[in-house]
Structure 1
Amino acid sequence: MTADASERIVATVVVCTYNRASSLRQALPSLVRQEFARHGSFEILVIDDGSTDGTAEVVRHLAAESPVRLRSITVPHGGVAAARNEGVHHALGEWIAFFDDDQDAEPDWLSSLLDRAVQSGADCVAGRIEVVFLGETAGASDPTILKLFGSNGSMADEDETGPGSIPTVSVGTGNALVRRVLFEKVGLFDRSLSYGEDAEWFRRARRHGAVTVFARNAVVRHLVPAERLQLSYLLPMAGRGAESRVADDFKDGGLAVVLRLCALRAAHVCLIAFPRLVAARMAGDQSASAGRACSVHFSIVYIRTAMGILARSPGRWTMRRAKSA
């Protein structure tokens, strides 16, 4: 469907994808079914990051039948941060919603995000992500594994009626709504990051004074295939998350905060995580064992990365913190 040139687009839903044609066949129809008429019009913008698996054909077919404006832009493969920046650049909406290509949205998802934004006056709204494991479910009950895949149930404790920001919870682009003009103030996603670029952007936005609130009724489901529950997939993901967190913690708190967190993580590994890992393996509890292994690995990589940065450039992060203060 194409929109009239004079039509006001309230929101653009940006979906970045790379070689996930099969996932898009479920993700995009859930967006087309959004109940948004009372707010006006919205569009779906797919950024195809150089896919080679037939993604373009899937999008073309869905767009031909969609009652909602659905368009696609194909760019050379440059990573998810670059793809999201393309989405921001080409979005027509006053608000930009971010949605992953392996998710499924409730029909009132987008409306719930915008309702919360209007009610609170916030700059960013984060919604609830429920993780659904497909097929094999080993690891599905462990909170650490759920968190790795984006589960953010702890954010539901935030005040639903007031405009209070969320300073302690990592917000990501799996379920978020952002004022488009905020990118002019904060800048775009950091293309140098291959992981955690979304969390880095939201933390940067907070440092610029942006207010983020939570909309517990704006629900998406992250559909995770069984093969991603293997430690060969989970441990590298935990390690990349640790590396990204170190950089963000240096920017937010400087040297003193990172050193304190390194000490706390070392104590956590020695006194809690590793003993629980041993106990879980002895008991044959695969779920708890996978979770504790990821927890131990995250802490070890966090400490190793922090010490490596300090060894290479001891004054770099303290100087950056001073400039940003």
Structure 2
Amino acid sequence: MTRAVEQPSAAPAAVGDGPLWVVVPAYQEQARIGATLAALADQTDRDFTLVVVDNGSTDGTVAVVERFAAAAPFPVRLLREPQKGVGAAVDTGFRYAITHGARWLARTDADCLPRPGWVAAARAGLADGAGLVCGAIRARRDEHGPVGRAGFRMLVLLAATFGRLRPAHRRTGGYLAPYRMHAGNNMAVTAELYQACGGMPRRPSPTDRAFLNRVRRTTSAIIHRRDMVVENSTRRLRAYGLRRTAAWYLDRGAGPLTEDPR
């Protein structure tokens, strides 16, 4: 596994590292990560440690994180992961958190906006005995109007339906739980389960479906919470258009387009 370089950042002395850690992978997110960090600071439950894993950004992403960390209402850790791919960045962040005492792990992305009750809902789901908690995803209201947000909802529904009907996802394939849509940018998992299932595939996106299937082969303790909501960036929809975005969510890849629509 690629070794990450840690940059511990300052945090208020009154707040200590607890059992819940939040991991945010980031690459070239100078324009968006500030809003993500602000959304985390606005959580109703701020008893967590934040780990931001920079995946080789050359813009001001790291500087934004460092400025935020100086006055953050929770501890912040900044890691550097040189191996390209969101899977590698997430895996590095999760394993770092586990090594430093995390019992519960939550993840969102650096272009997403967790709603204020997101951490509280993740904690409640894990405290109730779930191994993996999956939340609801919505389109960011600051990137698209009603038509764009409706298109995003349609894509999510299409991907979820395809996933349930896909023969490879049937429980006869060794799975312990039925397939349901899982977004990697809105999830929480126990450290024990993360290690037991083998963790996030260390590769570029998409990785969410592969990780979910690893979990499904390990446990049936998977729940979905409607009150665990993250607003997603719709920039892929703008860059690809509706048809090609649908192909992406159906695991058809990016085709002639770049896998990273920044």
- Give the TM-score, by structure 1 length: 0.62
Aligned to 1:220: 230
Q: CA deviation at 1:141?
A: 2.0
In structure 2, do the counterparts of structure 1 residues 44 and 189 end up closer, same or farther at CA, with 3 Å as the change threshold? same
Match of 2:213 in 1: 203
Counterpart residue identity of residue 51, structure 1: S
1:136-195 Cα distance to aligned partner (Å, 9 max, x none): 66543236654189899xxxxxxxxxxxx962213121111100111221112222x433
Greater helix proportion? 1
Other structure's SS at 1:21 match: coil
Is structure 2 residue 28 aligned with structure 1 residue 22?
Answer: no
- Do structure 1's residue 94 and structure 2's residue 103 form an aligned pair? yes
Structure 2 equivalent of residue 186 of structure 1 = 197
Higher deviation after alignment, 51-60 or 198-207: 198-207
Q: Sequence identity, in percent?
A: 25
1:127 to partner: Cα distance: 1.3
Residues 236, 127 of structure 1: alpha-carbon distance in 2 compared, 3 angstrom cutoff: closer
SS of structure 1 residue aligned to 2:233: strand
Q: Tell me the equivalent position of 1:140.
A: 149
Counterpart of 1:126?
A: 134
Moved segments of 4+, more than 6 Å: 148-152
- TM-score by length of structure 2 reads 0.75
When residues 103 and 83 of structure 1 are mapped into structure 2, their CA distance, relative to the original with a 3 A threshold, is: same
**Structure 2 CA distance for partners of 1:237 and 1:20, relative to 1, 3 Å:** farther
C-alpha distance after superposition, 1:25-76 (max 9, x if no partner):
1001111222226xxx311100000000111100000000112111211121
Offset of residue 239 of structure 1: 4.0
Q: 1:98 Cα deviation (Å)?
A: 0.8
Trace 1:162-177 onto structure 2 (pairs within 5 A). 167-177=178-188
Secondary structure (helix, strand or coil) at the match of 1:127 reads: strand
Aligned length: 229
Gap change, CA 1:151 and 1:209, over 3 Å in 2: closer
Helix, strand or coil: the match of 1:141? helix
Consecutive unaligned residues of structure 1, counting only runs of 5 or more, are: 153-164, 245-296, 298-325
2:82 is matched by which residue type in structure 1? P
Q: 1:78: Cα distance to partner?
A: 1.4
Whole-Å separation in 1 of the counterparts to 2:43 and 2:81? 27
| Aligned mates of 1:24, 1:230 — CA distance in 2 | 19
SS in 2 for 1:147: helix
Separation in 1, partners of 2:188, 2:114: 14
Correspondence for 1:9: 18
110 and 2 in structure 1: CA distance in 2 versus 1, 3 angstrom threshold = same
Does the CA-based 8 Å contact 2:107-2:186 persist in structure 1? yes
Distance 1:230 1:17, change over 3 A: closer
**C-alpha displacement of 1:2:** 3.4
